[in-house]
Amino acid sequence: MNPQKALLSLLAVCLLSITVTLLTQAYWQEQSYRLQSKGNSSKCSEHLVEKEVESTQRKCKSPAVQTQSITLFVRMAATVPELRRQFYCVFLRLSVLFWPASLDKTVAVLDQENEEDHEFASTVLTHMKQHFPDRTFEVLYEPLPKDPTVLDFAKSPKSPGYNRQLYSSFFIDLYTNDDIIAWMDADSAFVSPVTNESIFNGTKVRVLGYDCTLTTKAWVQVWARTTEKALGLPFLADFMTYFPAYIYRDTFTHCREHILRRFNTSNFEEAFKKFYRQEYISPVSVVLSYAWYFERERYDWNLKLCTDLTEYNKRFPSEHIISAEHVVETLLIPQTAFHAKHAQGVREIVFSSYCLSQEAAGNDAEKCSNRTASLITNFVLFTQDVDHDVERLGPPAPPCPKNREETCLQLLERNYNQIGLEIKQKTRKLDWKNVKIVENLAKELKLQCDVLK
């Protein structure tokens, strides 16, 4: 044989061998692996995460967030029909409209042991690949705790399924390697476009908190007690009022490690049982209260207080009191999501935000032809959610006092001008057809979405 041909044949065989090896390795890594985030505690190495096939291509990030990656996170269980409906009809339907595809990936975590969850995940991933190839979507699975009494115990304030979601909230860092987690409740809906400014103030992640519920809502007073049990430090504020909650991934890791040290154990199941038993808990308030005490400088704190600041500070150790710079009278950026079990409950807010965005971009959107949207009707985006039942109670009370209306108008105008500019520059898509696609997919699954038109 010609020496040159022999050399080429040998080279071809080597390349083929390397390719087969790499493909085989990639296949088995994709089927099942242990997801370990940077900086995760080895004490939690038994908390295994099984990963479903992830979708599609990676994207170029917006310049404002190119140094910090973000995961939009939601926890659900497909065995609960109402959660399946909420996922498609509320979360997904409005996130494909208002959550930019450029902001990295979305992660949904389901129950590992239920076949129904795996089937649902396969369907969701297929839908995302077929209809939203510009979005990266992942499904991961969480195993049950080894000790069944972590979730199912006498006089529990919630069901075992609900308790499971509370428990898993302390492990969110295990489901992504991104820097920041945008934590959404399963019953939360996006109501306006998410912008870089709604996430960051400069390079710091915005935190929005509220104390007014502490004196008016009995369950928030209970959250305060369980937070102090968990951390050994006072509850800072109610952080269930604003979603998504943006939290650095390693803050979850550090908070969990703090709790383990506090209870002198390496087993988080054991620690969890010591602070969550017969009273309600708000995991997001635990994690962000931890961040206040130990990672304050990493975040931009915006606390709306009903209590006199001097009086409120009596609750805290002197080195952890709230400064005037951390207190706001009115939110400095519009809200982007509310609690809503049905999208219809936030319909008018959604259309107002959508139409104002299209108007700022100079677009004559068909959905807006018979609607009059004004910045004043968008004042609702400056309110606190407070687990507000929009369907039953209607929109929350106007949040901009008369002496602040001009400020609210200026903030909204700046917000929509920026969104409009991004649409014109084609760095943001705001397409109502995406909403219709999700509605049709839900219909195929026999999920009854409320009318949003």
For the record, the structure tokens of 402 come out as 């008369």
What six digits make up the tokens of 379? 């004042």
Contact assessment for residue 76 and residue 124, using Cβ atoms and an 8 Å cutoff: no
Q: What is the DSSP string of 416-440?
A: HHHHHHHHHTTS----HHHHHHHHH
pLDDT confidence of residue 104: 83
Q: How far apart are CA 253 and CA 179, in angstroms?
A: 12
Q: What is the per-residue pLDDT for 376?
A: 85
The neighbour count for residue 294, using CB atoms within 10 Å, is 15
pLDDT at 329: 81
Closest CA to 251 of 180, 322, 319, 326: 180
Task: Give me the pLDDT at residue 401, please.
Answer: 72
**pTM for the structure as a whole:** 0.85
Identify the sign of the CA torsion 421, 400, 208, 71.
Answer: negative
Nearest CA-CA partner of 53 in 78, 31, 25: 31
Each of the 453 residues of the chain gets a pLDDT tens digit; together they read 555 555 556 555 555 555 544 444 443 333 333 333 334 443 443 565 665 544 444 444 444 455 799 999 999 999 999 999 999 999 999 999 999 999 889 999 999 999 999 999 999 999 999 999 999 999 999 999 999 999 999 999 999 999 999 999 999 999 999 999 999 988 889 999 999 999 999 999 999 998 888 888 888 999 999 999 999 999 999 998 788 999 999 999 999 999 999 999 999 999 999 999 989 999 999 999 999 999 999 999 999 888 999 999 999 999 999 999 999 887 788 889 988 877 777 888 999 999 999 999 999 888 898 888 889 888 888 876 544 444 433 444 456 777 788 989 999 999 999 999 999 999 999 999 999 999 999 999 999 998 886
Helix 405-424 crosses helix 347-360 at what angle (to 10 degrees)?
60
Task: Tell me whether residue 17 is exposed, middle or buried, using C-beta atoms within 10 angstroms of its C-beta: 0 to 12, 13 to 18, 19 or more.
Answer: exposed
